[in-house]
Amino acid sequence: MPAELWRPSLDLALHRNRSRPEMRLVQLATVRPDGRPAIRTVVFRGFLDDPRKLAFATDSRSAKRAEIEANPRGEICWYFPETREQFRVSGMLALIGPGSTDPALRQARADLWAELGDEVRAGFTWPAPREPRDAASRFSDVPPAPSSPVENFLLLTLTATEVDHLELQGDPQHRWIYEADPRGRWSGREVNP
Ligand SMILES: Cc1cc2nc3c(=O)[nH]c(=O)nc-3n(C[C@H](O)[C@H](O)[C@H](O)COP(=O)(O)O)c2cc1C
């Protein structure tokens, strides 16, 4: 049994929902500096070598960067339509940019950049998000080279510390809570839905 007791259930959900492209979309919640929640859709890009770490791609010019720098706590909410399951994965967010001092994470950032589609890579050359739209600004569809990530491209990781798995199938439904203690040891228990 892997140390991350929740991974087999999540891996199985990913496998059983693989025919649905939207199953890669998750809602990521962060906390704004004034305490208000912020939530947005992001694409799940896979797990890193550390089985607790989920990977996402984002732009250093987006609002979520300052939010995460001020408060790294975050949660994703993930619904799998085929099997009617919800996973809420809560934990610590980290932003990995060109200045990262960890060679493995720098490599993971470069690998993710190379894997992105051309359209997604082109988006990182666009004018800054949330700036007023200027008719004169250029939104190029020419993607930057896959071999060298642009400065503003960030690998975003979520290191899980708690997972809440709800399975709607079944009467009554099933729900499990998995928690990591401060030393990273996982425990899991079935609870009422
Ligand atoms: C289907 C879909 C997929 C998206 N994927 C991503 C993504 O992978 N990374 C990302 O930063 N934003 C993604 N976005 C845009 C975000 O939802 C959000 O609008 C943007 O990141 C700005 O968020 P912020 O102002 O909270 O930083 C996606 C939006 C949609 C609708």
Q: Which two tokens stand for residue 70?
A: 């001020």
For the chain, strand residue ranges (E) read 25-31, 37-43, 53-59, 73-80, 85-96, 153-167, 174-180, 186-191
Please give the distance, rounded to the nearest whole angstrom, from the Cα atom of residue 40 to the centre of ligand 1.
6
Among 163, 3, 175, CA closest to 77: 163
Instruction: Note the pLDDT of residue 2.
Output: 64
- Pairwise CA distance, residues 51 & 11, whole Å: 11
Per-residue model confidence as pLDDT tens digits over 49-74: 999 999 999 999 999 999 999 999 99
**Domains of the chain and CATH, by start:** 7-127+139-191 (2.30.110.10)
pTM: 0.97
Share of the chain above pLDDT 70, in %: 99
> Which atom of ligand 1 is the closest one to the Cα of 41?
17
Asked if residue 96 has its Cβ within 6 Å of ligand 1, the reply is no
Nearest ligand 1 atom to the CA of 58 is 11
CA–CA separation, 119 and 142 (whole Å): 8
104-116: average pLDDT: 98
Q: Which residues pair with 88 in a beta bridge?
A: 77, 164
